[in-house]
């Protein structure tokens, strides 16, 4: 693995990488012995107390007590040299073990009770952080500039749709300096009311339209939200041709790909930036009645993973959002329950601010992803049953 002077160290063992997988969704999980309940840290695969090999990663209490603290003023990594002085400490976790942590200035006293958060660093790896503040505010202890929204320039595609409109207003409320609200034609937005909202004409199926937008506003954009999407709502065998499936792929996959290819050079040049791809829970599992849509979102999810790896060395964070059915015009015929577009937009803002990488808005999405992690086949069969009986 090539070492980047402008990023923190990325090297981790395989068990420790599981900590990163929890940090991606803001969870704090550690290996817990299924025989004696001993919690392992440093993480490992064998229980240090009873030697059982039956460990399970479980949520553990996010609290602890400071044992000791130091200010690192001399270090051997270029990335940290620029961050000095660095507050580092050791904390006795209420879960049992002692953890080395990064600390906020308000909790660097021995005996202090602290909240632990499992945060992603600029290399996208997990770092345990201690803060005296409550759990609800995930303090930016690692000083990641990508977590700030205030003063940033945002581009939201599909801005005239249900989620898009809410995203524009949520970014405005979060203090973004400029929000480019992009849609086919000139989107009707609140732009007349708010000067920071700037309408942009953009056709995701037209590469020239994308390139023109990137040439004009690309250097200004800090946060790119690929929200635009279409659905034909059809099974793979329905319809007389595959034009619906093709248009889904054209917008949901190729449109997103072209947007990132057009705007990424500008973000790379700044060595920071956030790209949010509006995916779907259905990227993970196929609902056969809209199979081709699911396939396009699965393609976009794979794109998200690959882009994340390609852009991480440049300090650009690539995020995925995985909602279940959202209450928009597109889903008018879908049965409830439905997420409100505003709640999805709020979750996007929270994900960026908390420095997470994947967002699952709402209880149903969270239940489903947990079920998919546990046993994807069960979920696949449940979705298969949602297909109406053939006539």
Partner 1 sequence: MQLPRDYSGVVVCTPVSTARTRTTRHTIPWFIGQTLAELVRRSGLSKHDITGLAIASYGLAPDNAASLAEYFKLEPTFVLDIPYGGASGVLAMSRAARAIQAGDTEVVACMAADIAPTGYGIYSNFSSATRDHVYPYGAGGANATFALITANYIRTYDAPPEAFGAICVAQRANGIQHALSMFRSPLSMEEYLSARMISDPLRLYDCVPRCCAGEGFLVMTEDRARSLGLSFVRIAGVVERNSGFGDDPIMSRVGIARDRERLYGQANLEPKDIDFVQAYDDYPVIVMMQLEALGFCGEGEGHRLAREKTLTVDGDLPLNTSGGMLSLGQPGAAGGFLGLNEAIRQLTREGMGALVEDASAGAVSCYGTVNYDRGICSNAAILTAGAVQ
Tokens of 313: 């060395």
Indicate whether 8 belongs to the interface with partner 1 (CB under 8 A). yes
270 is catalytic: no
CB–CB of 323/282 below 8 Å? no
Based on the shown chain and the rule CB under 8 A, indicate whether residue 99 belongs to the binding site for partner 1. yes
Q: Which one from 41, 152, 253, 297 is the annotated catalytic residue?
A: 297
Cα–Cα distance, 313 to 328 (Å, whole number)? 36
For the bound state, the minimum distance from the C-beta of residue 147 to partner 1, rounded and expressed in Å, comes to: 18
Among 42, 235, 288, 313, binds partner 1 (CB under 8 A): 42
CB 204 within 8 A of CB 383: no
Among 22, 27, 46, 88, binds partner 1 (CB under 8 A): 88
9 binds partner 1 (CB under 8 A): yes
Q: Residue 154 and residue 50: Cα distance in Å, rounded? A: 52
How many chain residues are in contact with partner 1, going by CB under 8 A? Answer: 40
46 CB contacts (<8 Å, ≥6 apart)?
A: 52, 53, 55
Among 127, 274, 321, 351, binds partner 1 (CB under 8 A): 127
The answer to the question of residue 4 lying near partner 1 (CB under 8 A) is: no
Kindly state the smallest distance separating residue 305's Cβ from partner 1, in Å. Answer: 22
In the complex with partner 1, the residue whose CB is nearer, 10 or 338, is 10
Q: Is 64 in the site for partner 1 (CB under 8 A)?
A: no
> Residues 22, 27, 46, 86: which binds partner 1 (CB under 8 A)?
86
Cis peptide before 57 (omega within 30 of 0): no
Per CB under 8 A, the segment of 27-35, 97-105, 148-156, 379-387 that binds partner 1 is 97-105
The residue (of 127 and 232) whose beta carbon lies closer to partner 1 is 127
Q: Among 41-49, 151-159, 319-327, 370-378, which window interacts with partner 1 (CB under 8 A)? A: 41-49
Q: Tell me the window of 83-91, 162-170, 183-191, 317-325 that interacts with partner 1 (CB under 8 A).
A: 83-91
The nearest distance, CB 11 to partner 1, in angstroms, is: 6
Q: Which of residues 130-149 bind partner 1 (CB under 8 A)?
A: none
- 360 is an active site residue: no
Q: Which of 1, 2, 5, 76 binds partner 1 (CB under 8 A)?
A: 76
d(CA 150, CA 155): 14
Site for partner 1 contains 80 (CB under 8 A)? yes
Q: Which of 32, 33, 55, 101 binds partner 1 (CB under 8 A)?
A: 101
Residue 57 near partner 1 by CB under 8 A: no
Shortest separation between residue 274's beta carbon and partner 1, angstroms: 22
Return the structure tokens found at 196: 């920071």
Q: Which of 41, 253, 293, 360 is catalytic?
A: 293
Is 125 an interacting residue with respect to partner 1 (CB under 8 A)? yes
Q: Is the dihedral of CA 32, 38, 44, 50 positive or negative?
A: negative
Least separation, in Å, of the C-beta of 93 and partner 1? 10
Q: Which of 4, 92, 350, 366 binds partner 1 (CB under 8 A)?
A: 92
Q: Does 16 help bind partner 1 (rule: CB under 8 A)?
A: yes
Tell me the HSE value of 257 on the side-chain side, using a 13 A CA sphere. 15
Q: Rounded to the nearest whole angstrom, what is the least distance from the CB of residue 63 to partner 1 in the complex?
A: 15
Binding interface with partner 1 (CB under 8 A): 8-9, 11-13, 15-16, 19, 41-43, 67-77, 79-80, 83, 86, 88-90, 92, 98-102, 110, 121, 123, 125, 127
Point out the residues that are catalytic.
293, 297
């Amino acid at each position: 693995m090539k070492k980047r002077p402008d990023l923190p160290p990325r090297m981790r063992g395989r068990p420790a990488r599981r900590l990163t997988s929890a940090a991606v969704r803001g969870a704090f999980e550690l290996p817990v012995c299924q025989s004696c309940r001993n919690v392992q840290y440093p993480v490992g695969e064998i229980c240090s107390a009873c030697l059982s090999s039956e460990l399970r990663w479980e949520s553990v209490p996010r609290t602890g007590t400071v044992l000791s603290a130091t200010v690192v003023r001399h270090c051997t990594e270029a990335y940290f040299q620029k961050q000095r002085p660095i507050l580092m400490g050791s904390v006795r976790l209420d879960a049992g073990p002692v953890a080395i942590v990064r600390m906020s200035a308000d909790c660097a006293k021995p005996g202090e009770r602290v909240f632990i958060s499992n945060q992603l660093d600029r290399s996208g790896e997990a770092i345990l952080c201690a803060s005296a503040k409550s759990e609800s505010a995930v303090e930016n202890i690692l000083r990641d500039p990508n977590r700030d929204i205030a003063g940033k320039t945002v581009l939201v595609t599909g801005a005239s749709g249900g989620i898009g409109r809410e995203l524009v207003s949520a970014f405005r409320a979060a203090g973004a300096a400029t929000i480019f609200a992009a849609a086919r034609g000139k989107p009707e937005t609140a732009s007349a009311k708010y000067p920071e909202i700037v309408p942009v004409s953009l056709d995701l199926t037209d590469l020239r339209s994308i390139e023109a937008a990137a040439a004009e506003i690309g250097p200004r954009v800090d946060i790119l939200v690929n929200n635009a999407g279409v659905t034909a709502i059809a099974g793979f065998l329905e319809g007389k041709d595959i034009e619906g499936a093709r248009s889904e792929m054209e917008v949901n996959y190729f449109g997103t790909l072209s947007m990132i290819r057009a705007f990424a050079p500008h973000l790379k040049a700044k060595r920071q930036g956030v790209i949010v791809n509006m995916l779907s829970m259905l990227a993970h599992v196929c609902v056969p009645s809209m199979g081709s849509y699911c396939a396009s979102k699965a393609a976009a999810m794979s794109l998200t993973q690959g882009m994340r790896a390609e852009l991480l060395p440049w300090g650009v964070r690539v995020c995925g959002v995985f909602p279940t059915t959202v209450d928009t015009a597109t889903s008018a015929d879908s049965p409830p329950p439905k997420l409100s577009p505003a709640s999805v937009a709020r979750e996007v803002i929270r994900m960026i601010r908390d420095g997470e990488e994947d967002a699952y808005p709402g209880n149903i999405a969270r239940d489903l992803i947990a079920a998919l992690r546990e046993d994807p086949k069960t979920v696949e069969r449940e979705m298969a049953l949602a297909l109406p009986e053939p006539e």
